[in-house]
Amino acid sequence: MARAALKPATAPGVLPREAELQAFASAAAQLLVERQPRSAGSRVVNGREGAGLQHLDHRDYAPGDEVRHIDWRQTARRRTPVVRRFEAETVADWTLIVDASSSMATNHGAKWQAARAAAAAMAWALLQLGHRVGLLVFGERVLAETAPGRGAAHYAAIARQLVALEPRPQGERSSLAACVRHVQGASSLFVIADFLADAEMRRDLSALLPRCTALHVLQLRDAADTRLPAARGELEVVDVESGERVPVQGAGAAVQAAAARVAATLRLRRFCLQRGAAFTDWDVAAAWQPTLLRHLVHARRHC
């Protein structure tokens, strides 16, 4: 029996529309099929598309699908190419880890909106393929958790959680370490954060690595983070996570802040490269669809 179709969140404008999610899932399908994990411990369960004999369900034809898997009766009925999917013996577990610290709320929440869209899109695409998906949202502690699951109802649970959450404007620090004890060894991890706590975040990623089969790192960047008023003399900058007020000199301070941000990104990129983690730096002014696809292509080729 075919599984129920996934449905997007009902809050308009908060998460991507169904057509956007479906288009992304179709484009990402071949990039998200299971590969051999780099460490032992993958969960053995049923319910993923594969090359087995038991019929699972149908989906739209995508470039690269085998012609022999086309269901011609369903194709004629729907007037668009449809392929059969079959049961496989194993399925990957994924955990999406999303930063909801106060730095994600700056500039009217631009980074949070981007993170929420990316998490919803990844959840939709992975669930379409039959993978199990869980969600962790963190600040100074784990703020929300959705246990791994599958199917339409599970996407709806993840979507409701993402829609309901908003980062605090001030006072919520970022501690990825809070997620470590919530992660099991059979998951691929997809971390979405701005990684402003440079050294601490790299330390916490190191703690996550032994607990996962693959690590994806998506760093969000917003030009507004390093934009200061065009003023001379001393300014006061507020760290939204800690509430600390830091005096800076207006002239050249923005340039120095931007340079420091670039240097931190280069350190994080180098860290991920050395440890076999997939890394992408995302300016949130860019659309989420090509950013995620670019990340998945990179991960498929190099990790």
Helix (H, G, I), strand (E, B) or coil at 181: helix
Whether residues 191 and 68 fall in one domain: no
pLDDT value at residue 278: 96
116 assigned to some structural domain: yes
| Residue-averaged pLDDT of the chain | 81
In the predicted model, what is the mean pLDDT of residues 46-66? 59
Q: Would you say residue 1 lies in a domain?
A: no
pLDDT given for residue 167 in this prediction:
95
pLDDT of residue 10: 45
Which carries the bigger pLDDT value, residue 203 or residue 13?
203
Asked, for residue 131, whether it belongs to a domain, the answer is yes
Out of 36-40, 244-248, 297-301, pick the least confident: 36-40
Closest by Cα among 122, 162, 132 to 145: 162
Split into its structural domains, the chain has a count of 2
- DSSP at 70: B
Evaluate whether 133 touches 98 at the Cβ level (below 8 Å): no
* Cα angle, residue 69 at apex, residues 64 and 72 outer, rounded to 5°: 115
Among the candidates 87, 109, 140, a domain finishes at 87
Other beta carbons less than 10 A from residue 130's beta carbon: 23
**Whether the predicted pLDDT of 235 surpasses 50:** yes
Q: What is the pLDDT of residues 248-259, one digit of tens each?
A: 555 565 566 667
Summarised one tens digit per residue, pLDDT across range 127-172 is 998 899 999 999 999 999 999 999 889 999 999 999 999 999 999 9
Burial 6-24 (b: 16+ CB within 10 A, else e): bebbeeeebbbeeebbbeb
Are residue 175 and residue 70 in the same domain, yes or no?
no
Q: Do residues 280 and 301 make contact, with C-beta atoms less than 8 angstroms apart?
A: no
pLDDT average, residue stretch 229-253: 55
Q: What is the pLDDT of residues 85-124, one digit of tens each?
A: 654 434 689 999 999 999 999 999 999 999 999 999 999 9
CATH code of the domain containing 242? 3.40.50
Whether residue 221 lies inside any domain: the answer is yes
Do 216 and 80 lie in a common domain?
A: no
Q: Which two tokens stand for residue 218?
A: 């998506």
Distance CA 142, CA 124 (A): 22
b/e 175-200 (16+ beta carbons within 10 angstroms → b): bbbbbeeebeebbbbbbbbbbbbeee
Nearest to 195 by CA among 270, 122, 265: 265
In a domain, 21, yes or no: no
The residue among 87, 102, 133 that closes a domain is 87
Domain boundary (67, 87, 107) is at 87
- Per residue in 1-14, pLDDT tens? 333 344 444 455 78
pLDDT of 67 = 81
Residues 188 and 64 in one domain: no
Give the C-alpha distances (Å, rounded to integers) separating 128 from 12, 27, 43, 157, 240. Answer: 22, 12, 18, 15, 37
At residue 268, what are phi and psi to the nearest 5 degrees?
Answer: -70, -40
At 179, the pLDDT band (50, 70, 90 cuts) reads very high
Q: What is the pLDDT of residues 281-300, one digit of tens each?
A: 999 999 999 999 999 999 98
